[in-house]
Structure 1
Amino acid sequence: MQKNFDYEIWQRFRNGDEKAFTYIFDTYHLQLFEYARRFTMNEDIVRDSIQDLFFELANKKEKLSPTDNILFYLLKSLRLRILGNLRKDKNHNIEVKSEIPDEFLLSYAADADDLEKELRLDLLAEAVNRLPARQKETIYLKFYKNLSNAEVAEVMQVNYQSVGNNIQKAIHKLKAVLQSSSDSVILFFHKYLR
């Protein structure tokens, strides 16, 4: 259902519907900001990258490819833009196109009333933040943004097998880290990341 809706909205936007463009911006700009902040805390670079992305989308709408997953399309485009802007920034030194900075961080804001559940999620977020940056980004895109392995591969500009490998390595490392913390955290982790 969402894919059909995304396809329709994207088509309307590509055909010049300003309300569709406004809807896309309003719906996704905060998620894009959150994702970009995982690469850098420099809010100027983050804002500029998002602004440049939407400016380019508006100016080249007729030439854009169709999509049935707007978030995937925007994340992929923003990742390329943010890494390009970080390369240009004198405070960052990124040599490889698909390389990501070490400061890619995940966090979990729990709204739960259950203190034990909150503690488990905090332990999980802490364990995830111990992973290498590429594995953190894979976990984020796969489980936090619900992208398919193929979509994660395309966003990160890696092959499909690398995504599966990153997920398996991350789960193995998380099991090792979380096993020492609490067996209940492992059970919680398995329940939500199967």
Structure 2
Amino acid sequence: MNSFVANRGFRLIMQKNFDFEIWQRFRRGDEKAFSYIFDTYHLQLFEYGRRFTLDEDLVRDSIQDLFFELASKKDKLSPTDNILFYLLKSLRIRIFGNLRKNKNHSIEVKTELTDEFFLSYVTDSDELEKEFRLDLLAEAVNELPARLKETIYLKFYKNLSNAEVAGVMQVNYQSVANNIQKAIHKLKSILQSDSDSIILFFQRYLR
């Protein structure tokens, strides 16, 4: 277990260093760096945006607007060592704004859009036990309130820190910590498992 945690920590450090360098190159006008960022993250952004609305065109337009703004204001952007966090946060704000502007949208847009977030897990593994456990986990997570589902998604599925989750969701750090504890407690009841086992499963299979 200690070796697993150490290796995961090392990978996260390496990823942060890489993200910082790529982002810096992009800010300096490196077109290859910009292409890398778009190619690496645009599908993940679309997946995230679709969890708030069924309007795929709105999500695509929001992503396109986001990257256009990034390209046009690259020299004014802040440094970051987590590109995914930066993009998720920016896209979430833009989608909420576009939903509010869209008078023809069928959904009444609220501050949190709590009824719209849907979470699922997909694995290409041939290990039947792993697939079975992932299916059970997905079913259990989807019984959680939407706010808790989004917290779990960002924390465990997208590898964000508590502070980064708070930044994306525009809540305070303590709210994220509380949401995680509430979610784990509810999952413990649904899955009839202990909290440590649930957290370990998240770390092993969703990283």
Q: TM-score, normalised by structure 1?
A: 0.91
Distance 1:101 1:86, change over 3 A: farther
Distance 1:169 1:117 in 2: 25
Which amino acid is the alignment partner of residue 136 of structure 1? K
Equivalent residue runs for 1:21-60 within 5 Å: 21-60=34-73
1:70 equivalent to 2:79? Answer no
Amino acid at match of 1:95: K
Offset of residue 100 of structure 1? 2.5
Distance of 2:199 and 2:168 partners within structure 1 = 25
Residue-pair matches, total: 188
Report what 1:100 is aligned to.
Answer: 113
Whether contact under 8 Å (1:94, 1:101) holds in the other structure is no
1-structure distance, mates of 2:177, 2:38: 31
2:21 paired with 1:8: yes
Q: Which amino acid aligns with 2:36?
A: Y
Which one of the candidate residues 161, 168, 171 is aligned to 2:174? 161
Displacement, 1:193? 3.6
Cα deviation, 1:129-182, whole Å, max 9, x if unaligned, reads 111111000000000001000000011000000000000000111111111xxx
Matched-pair contact (CA < 8 Å) for 1:108–1:122: yes
Question: 1:191 corresponds to which letter in structure 2?
Answer: L
Q: Give the letter for the 1:31 counterpart.
A: Q
1:124 maps to 2:137: yes
**Which residues of structure 2 form unaligned runs of 5+?**
1-13
Q: Deviations over 1:57-80 (max 9, x none)?
A: 011111111111111100110010
Within 5 A, what are the aligned runs for 1:82-97? 82-89=95-102, 90-96=105-111
Structure 1 unaligned spans of 5+: none
Contact 2:185/2:195 (CA < 8 Å) preserved in 1? Answer: no
In the aligned structure 1, how far is the partner of 2:46 from the partner of 2:197?
A: 29
How far off is 1:115 after superposition?
A: 2.1
Aligned residues of 1:39 and 1:104 also touching (Cα < 8 A): yes
Deviation at 1:45, TM superposition (A): 0.8
Change (3 A) 1:109 1:95: closer
Matched-pair contact (CA < 8 Å) for 2:58–2:95 = yes
Contact conserved, 1:40 with 1:103, CA < 8 A, in 2?
yes
> What RMSD over aligned residues (CA atoms) do the two structures have, in Å?
1.7
